[in-house]
Structure 1
Amino acid sequence: MAPAPTSMTYEFFARTDQGRVRPNNEDAVAIDHGTQIAILADGMGGYNAGEVASAMATDFIRTEMVCWLTQAGASPPSSEVRQVLECCVERANHAIWDASRATPRYAGMGTTLVVAVFHGNRLTLGHIGDSRCYRLRAGALQQITRDHSWIQEQIDAGLLTPRQATFSTQRNLVTRALGVGPSAMMEVNEFQVAPDDLFLLCTDGLTDMVPDADLAHMLRAPLALEEKTARLIDSANAHGGRDNVSVLLVQAGKRQGLHNHAPHPE
């Protein structure tokens, strides 16, 4: 006998903060509760161009994905979600790239990107650059994106240790970004979501300031998502707040329609 259809509830909360040093905020976040999408971007570029790029990315991708997911129904196949996400991000890339070439003050603008699409008990996760997604499962925190950065390449090549990397002056040099060229190089992965998983999407304004061990400690606290978000941002600012800091939390609830079917490990 086939198992009953599964569904999972999700709770979302996001906040972005200017930090203590930067004159403006080039981060952007977007959530759609109905279609269970979370998007985070960290813009770059002169003047206010970073703000423009990150806002264009989050607004464009949210609008396009919400439109498609609303028409696709409750349980679209993962392969289709991935394909549509890749298409939306490519079109957002073209929009930013075209704007940067058409408007002199936007020249060279771009943005990092993390897009999480939760459908049933699955997560389709796309990212470009060094903004991250972490998963807290059973008290253990794991980074489930890999930074597209010069530092990460040096670590992968064995030329730097993670500890040495924390002191590098090249920490913020990304090797991929949205909108800086005619095509986007997004990495997409899929994950199974277990009940009570907590996902953290964040910009490097958080991770450059707060060690992973401290992130885990704050995420494990029995607090509402709004309070956890405030603590994370306050911690980044207390450690110097050298960059804009954005936090987007997604809490998975209990599965519905399951009858003694334990979750499969990732």
Structure 2
Amino acid sequence: MSLEFFSATDVGRARDNNEDSVALDEDVGLAVLADGMGGYNAGEVASQMLTSFVRAELGRWLKESGAEASNADVRRAMDICVDNANRAIFNAANTNPRYAGMGTTLVLGVFREEGLLLGHVGDSRAYRLRGGQLMQITRDHSLLQEQLDAGLLTPEEAVYSSNKNLVTRAVGVEDAVMLELHPHDCQPGDLYLFCSDGLSDMLDDDTLRQLMLGHPSLSEAARALIDAANEMGGRDNIALVLVRAEGKVKAEGRSWWPFGRR
């Protein structure tokens, strides 16, 4: 299966600096997106530290070992890399007063022949467009999501919640972080979107779906998504990664999912 990648960031219409960061290593199927937080541009520092660290360290490991590694090996490498990046950001935040309290969300994807290994921390998201249907394949680590899960808010009420941007998990804010990591099957024709909340807060799922379907090239789709988010107010920085899978479907009965077909 072949993959096509595209990434973009935009400062939006309400902020002067861009605290979102993206990084790709197409040779090893690696995509990283981060949305930083913290004063004095510390969020920008945190997100750039994270994406640069993951691209360099995990990218190098995948080049050296990825082709022969099992999915369990890659998962361990992803966990270790994010843990090391978390400690680097945490230490920087605790040794430089200007960076105190900084942290960042994360969406991390490793596309392999067998499928996608997808990890995330915080409220940046991943979506999959398949057969014209859009599905969110990450679950926000946020107070708002916890309220939804507990039935304290309806989805309609959540749109207007004041807790929309309060994350319950982030990279760099504590000395340890848990990467939520899941495998997903990957089929020819799939289109994946990783994005910061500067996109997902501005555009509902149906608008995302229509814009992704309506533009054949990834660069055109990215431009349309960013423009639409800015037209809706552009209240935050916008970052996105688009990945399209092309190729032949594998023979039935060969599954990489370790616990049977999903």
TM-score normalised by length of structure 1: 0.94
Per the TM alignment, residue 52 of structure 1 is displaced from its structure 2 partner at its CA by: 0.3
RMSD, aligned α-carbons: 1.4
Instruction: State the match for 1:172 in structure 2.
Output: 165
Instruction: State the match for 1:244 in structure 2.
Output: 237
Q: Name the stretch that deviates more: 74-83 or 110-119.
A: 74-83
* Aligned-partner Cα distance in 2 for 1:168–1:73: 42
Instruction: State the match for 1:120 in structure 2.
Output: 113
Contact 1:45 1:106 in 2 (8 A): yes
* Post-superposition CA distance 1:183-211 (Å, at most 9, x none): 01210000110111110000000011001
Instruction: State the match for 1:185 in structure 2.
Output: 178
Per the TM alignment, residue 151 of structure 1 is displaced from its structure 2 partner at its CA by: 0.2
Say which of 58, 71, 95 aligns to 2:64: 71
Instruction: State the match for 1:198 in structure 2.
Output: 191
**Structure 1 residues 73, 153: CA separation in 2 closer, same or farther (over 3 Å shift)?**
closer
* Aligned-partner Cα distance in 1 for 2:219–2:65: 31
* Aligned-partner Cα distance in 2 for 1:130–1:246: 13
TM-score normalised by length of structure 2: 0.95
Q: Give the secondary structure class of the aligned counterpart of 1:114.
A: strand
Say which of 204, 213, 216 aligns to 2:206: 213
Alignment identity in percent? 52
Contact 1:194 1:263 in 2 (8 A): no
Say which of 129, 140, 144 aligns to 1:147: 140
Instruction: State the match for 1:134 in structure 2.
Output: 127
**Structure 1 residues 195, 75: CA separation in 2 closer, same or farther (over 3 Å shift)?**
farther
Per the TM alignment, residue 223 of structure 1 is displaced from its structure 2 partner at its CA by: 1.4
* Aligned-partner Cα distance in 2 for 1:41–1:90: 15
Q: Name the stretch that deviates more: 101-110 or 219-228.
A: 219-228
Would you identify which runs of 4 or more consecutive aligned residues in structure 1 move more than 4 Å?
260-266
Q: What amino acid is the match of 1:151?
A: L
Instruction: State the match for 1:18 in structure 2.
Output: 11
* Aligned-partner Cα distance in 1 for 2:220–2:90: 37
* Post-superposition CA distance 1:233-260 (Å, at most 9, x none): 000000000000111100001138x5x6
* Aligned-partner Cα distance in 1 for 2:239–2:4: 17
Q: Any unmatched runs of 5+ in structure 2?
A: 256-260
**Structure 1 residues 139, 101: CA separation in 2 closer, same or farther (over 3 Å shift)?**
same
Say which of 19, 42, 58 aligns to 1:49: 42
Q: Give the secondary structure class of the aligned counterpart of 2:248.
A: strand
* Aligned-partner Cα distance in 1 for 2:138–2:252: 28
Per the TM alignment, residue 222 of structure 1 is displaced from its structure 2 partner at its CA by: 4.4
Instruction: State the match for 1:223 in structure 2.
Output: 216
Per the TM alignment, residue 163 of structure 1 is displaced from its structure 2 partner at its CA by: 0.9
Per the TM alignment, residue 114 of structure 1 is displaced from its structure 2 partner at its CA by: 0.3
Instruction: State the match for 1:107 in structure 2.
Output: 100
Instruction: State the match for 1:5 in structure 2.
Output: none
How many residues are treated as equivalent by the alignment? 257
Contact 1:109 1:179 in 2 (8 A): yes
Per the TM alignment, residue 76 of structure 1 is displaced from its structure 2 partner at its CA by: 2.4
* Aligned-partner Cα distance in 1 for 2:58–2:147: 35
Q: Any unmatched runs of 5+ in structure 1?
A: 1-7
* Post-superposition CA distance 1:130-155 (Å, at most 9, x none): 00000001110000000000000000
* Post-superposition CA distance 1:83-139 (Å, at most 9, x none): 000000000000000000010000000000000000103111010000000000111
Instruction: State the match for 1:162 in structure 2.
Output: 155
Matches within 5 A, 1:29-48: 29-48=22-41
Q: Give the secondary structure class of the aligned counterpart of 1:34.
A: helix
Q: Give the secondary structure class of the aligned counterpart of 1:255.
A: coil
